[in-house]
A and B are shown apart, each in its own frame.
Chain A
Amino acid sequence: MSALSEKALAVSVEYLGPAAKVFLERQTKWHMNGLAFDALEQKHLAEFAKWVGISAALVVDAAKAKELSEKIGAIK
């Protein structure tokens, strides 16, 4: 797992619990041309953060989804 993937997972677990990894894997698979979550790189981050925000709004409230999206978008 790339360092970026690990950081994204660590941030997401705070909002989505133990299912965070499944959730993130779905985002890269469905919305980023089948990209493996473990192979996430800095160049994918903006797109990835956007889809995380959209999809997370379905399972947590909108404010938290936005917060999660922004945190992922800010990962270095």
Chain B
Amino acid sequence: MSRIVNSLQTKLIVSFVALIVVIAGGTYLYTFDQAKQALLQGAHDDLAQIIGITSTQFTAQEIAQIEQFKPGDDQTPAYVAVQAKLQKMRSISPNVANFYIMQIEGDKVVFLVDDAQDSPALIGEVYQHPEPRLFQASQGVQVSESLYTDEWGTFLSGYAPIQGTSGTTTLIVGADILADTIVARENFIGNTIYFVMAFAILIAGVIIGLFSLTIIRDIKKLNKVAEEISMGDTDVSVDVHRKDEIGELASSFGRMVASLKIMMAADVQPESAKPDSAEK
């Protein structure tokens, strides 16, 4: 066990694996974080643009009608027309899950129109947990800094003012992008980075593994020759051919072995090469 722990092969492999894990892990975390931020910023910008355009799509007559909606008006032609307009906006904004119109009444926010077909917010329904940013929407377009969770779910929301007939801006149009849409994109990017990194690590691992094996193989050869010589066997040869530092070591080693053979052998000449043994 101690021999395995102390072997050069173990140390090289552990060092390379540690190096790969640290570099790959750091690169993955940094790249994924940057990609997530870029993705959120992209969704943020898209939402700001969409909600800004949507807020300008209502005529003065429609705005006047919306301001007058009260509970029970959800089947009136005026309500249905505004709802249909919001639904049309949603159909050309595939990433948006919902459009709705609200009114700020002091510190309360109430819904006036919701484009949802199933379980829409009712006219006059109070928005229980509006994010603080919504209250700033009367001043201009606002988009959530990050995903926000309320009683309707988790969204990235955008808000824009609708100019009222009197010049006031108490109506706010809102749009939501589902968190799932953003998370799905994040996961796709994360998985893509993960697979690219895993492939790169695999290739790097194979190259490093082969590289380490050739180094270790040649060091083992040199070690074996040294062991044989140390035990008195000079009939050895250094079979290592490299052009790097290990090659230089092998060359020096070969020179030492040759020198030892010459010095230790009384006669290293082949029998066939000796013209006359008496010459010795």
0/1 string, A57-73, CB within 8 A of B gives 1: 01111001000000000
**What are the residues of chain B within 8 A of A26 when measuring CB–CB?**
268-269
How far is the CB of B224 from the nearest CB of chain A, in Å?
Answer: 15
Assuming A29-B279, A30-B275, A31-B273, is B262 touching A14 (CB within 8 A)? no
Interface extent on B, as a size class? 20 to 34
Q: Which residue of A lies closest to B234 (CB)?
A: A59
| Complex interface: stretch among B68-76, B178-186, B196-204, B253-261 | B253-261
Q: Which of B233-280 contact A (CB under 8 A)?
A: 237-239, 254-263, 268-270, 273-275, 279-280
Alpha-carbon gap, A17 to B259, bound state (A)? 5
Tell yes or no: A54 within 8 A of B by CB: yes
**Residue among A30, A58, A59 with max Cβ neighbours from chain B (10 Å):** A59
Whether the pair B262, A23 counts as a contact (CB closer than 8 A) is: yes
Which of A19, A31, A61 touches B259 (beta carbons < 8 Å)?
Answer: A19
Alpha-carbon gap, A30 to B274, bound state (A)? 7
Whether the pair A16, B269 counts as a contact (CB closer than 8 A) is: no
CB-defined A-B contacts under 8 Å, sample of 12: A18-B259, A19-B262, A19-B263, A26-B269, A51-B273, A54-B270, A54-B273, A55-B268, A55-B269, A59-B262, A60-B237, A61-B239
Query: Which B residues lie at the A interface, using CB under 8 A?
Result: 237-239, 254-263, 268-270, 273-275, 279-280
